[in-house]
């Protein structure tokens, strides 16, 4: 007999209708896709901050890193695996790259669908400029 707990909500699959990244996943907004798995999508940032700037997202909607990690650590790992695959495909392994996941307004998050930035292709400078 299966045990059902009301304490754990099922993971979200689609976010609010205004979620930009959910609309990209749904094919409503075009994106230059560079990598895709059944659970993740990676596409070029439309306002790149480095010669290579790719966003890696889970296809399911989670507003931030904390909610993803708490609800589905396996999917969080799949996002990191996709980050590594993108870095390799973009030729970033030799000189290195930076991965950034902004969480919350103070963390600089602008789109509230968790996403990892993969940046590289040139020296990136200090982590935080003041």
In a domain, 18, yes or no: no
In a domain, 53, yes or no: yes
Can 35 be counted among the known catalytic residues? Answer: no
What pLDDT shows up at residue 130?
A: 67
* Domain assignment of residue 57, given as a range: 28-120
Q: Which of 52, 60, 71, 62 is nearest to 101 (CA)?
A: 62
In a domain, 126, yes or no: no
Q: In the predicted model, what is the mean pLDDT of residues 42-68?
A: 97
In a domain, 88, yes or no: yes
Number of separate domains in the chain? 1
Higher pLDDT, 18 or 111: 111
What pLDDT shows up at residue 7?
A: 43
In a domain, 1, yes or no: no
Contact 24, 16 (CB under 8 A): no
User: pTM higher than 0.85 for the full model?
Assistant: yes
Catalytic choice (35, 61, 113, 115) = 115
116-120 vs 52-58, strand pairing mode: antiparallel
In a domain, 62, yes or no: yes
**What percent of the chain stands above pLDDT 90?**
82
In a domain, 21, yes or no: no
Task: Assess whether pLDDT exceeds 80 at residue 1.
Answer: no
How many angstroms separate the Cα of 49 from the Cα of each of 2, 40, 46? Answer: 49, 22, 10
CATH number at residue 41: 3.30.428.10
Question: Per-residue pLDDT tens for 93-103?
Answer: 999 999 999 99
In a domain, 82, yes or no: yes
Question: Per-residue pLDDT tens for 72-94?
Answer: 999 999 999 999 999 999 999 99
């Amino acid at each position: 007999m299966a045990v059902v707990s009301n304490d754990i909500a099922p993971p979200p699959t689609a976010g609010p209708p205004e979620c930009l990244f959910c609309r990209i996943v749904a094919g409503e907004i075009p994106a230059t896709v560079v990598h895709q798995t059944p659970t993740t999508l990676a596409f070029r940032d439309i306002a790149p901050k480095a010669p290579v700037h790719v966003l890696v997202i889970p296809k399911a909607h989670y507003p931030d890193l904390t909610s993803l990690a708490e609800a589905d650590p396996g999917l969080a790992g799949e996002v990191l695996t996709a980050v590594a695959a993108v870095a390799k495909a973009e030729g970033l392994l030799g000189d290195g790259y930076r991965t950034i996941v902004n969480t919350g307004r103070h963390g600089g998050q602008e789109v509230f669908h968790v996403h990892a930035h993969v940046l590289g292709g040139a020296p990136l400078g200090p982590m935080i400029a003041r």
